[in-house]
Structure 1
Amino acid sequence: MQNTDKFNITKVVMGADPLGYELKEAVKQHLQKNGIEVKDLTPTNDVDYFSVGEEVGKQIASGEYERGFIFCGTGMGVDIVANKYQGVYSALCESVETTRLSRIINNANILAMGGIIITPYLGKQMADAFMKTPFSEGFSEAEPEFLTQALSEVKTTETRINRFNQIHAN
């Protein structure tokens, strides 16, 4: 089953606004202690949430990083902005289980957390689940083929939405 003993990604990108900064620091230190290379786009706590979502989203969308972490007060603002990028599947989670399922079902590549909601202890557990859980494995109620097909449809839908947005942009 998922949540193996090893991280399956060796480097990540992350960022936080002032309300998510403390949680980001705890998660960053935890990942680094476990041998993960962390690119921190917000080494100080003076960055707006929309800039955090944009910068981390851009790093994932470009393919430079496979996984990322974003933090603000609720996690919602950074999540909304990051998800504007094609190929970014940011999941706002508040538990280990929803984090695990975001990987299994949705192949989430960014984990968004709220610094006023998530404790550092829980944030570290969620980071472990996000890093260790593979896509489409161990979900007994759905076959891996279905999840792979569903993700393909999401990507197709994403392309249609982007075309729509380009046509209707003012």
Structure 2
Amino acid sequence: MSNPIPEKVHSYNVYDDTEKLVGVSAEVTLPTLELMSEAVSGAGMLGEYESPTPGHFGSITMEIPFRTLTDKSFSLLKNKGRSIVLRAAQQSYDVSGGGIRQRGLKITIRGIPKALELGKLAAGTQTETKNTIEVLYLKVEENGKVLLELDKLNSIYIVDGEDLLADVRNLI
């Protein structure tokens, strides 16, 4: 496919390892990644700048929202080292071929349960239950290509297929 115009997510599902998490709400907000940094200043410099440390990120959290309170919310609260996997079909328009094409997106997350917001009870409405996970491992793949792999506990930081911490691991 040449000259694709990325359009939207066509459909997605959320899995707890291999079992589909039924009841997840229509939208899952993906985590924000913010590199840890330190201000650098000194003689011969005009001011300061923030120097990020590759592979070192602040706390990364992700919420898994459910329409209603179910046993799955409590299951995610147990720390069993399971993965959360989001699988999506992303739609693009192929300018050269003149048609709609789909690209696979897979996001794998492992972490520690951090919170369970039970939500609210009201007749005829959703409870808006939310599980919050402290993300320790994150992998983003598109059509099988690794775009990002971050493993905070094993010093793995791969971006667009390049291992950015290989030299660091060899030195220590």
TM-score range, shorter chain: under 0.3
Normalising by structure 2, we get a TM-score of 0.24
Larger radius of gyration: 2
| Higher strand proportion | 2
The TM-score with structure 1 as length reference comes to: 0.24
Bigger helix fraction: 1
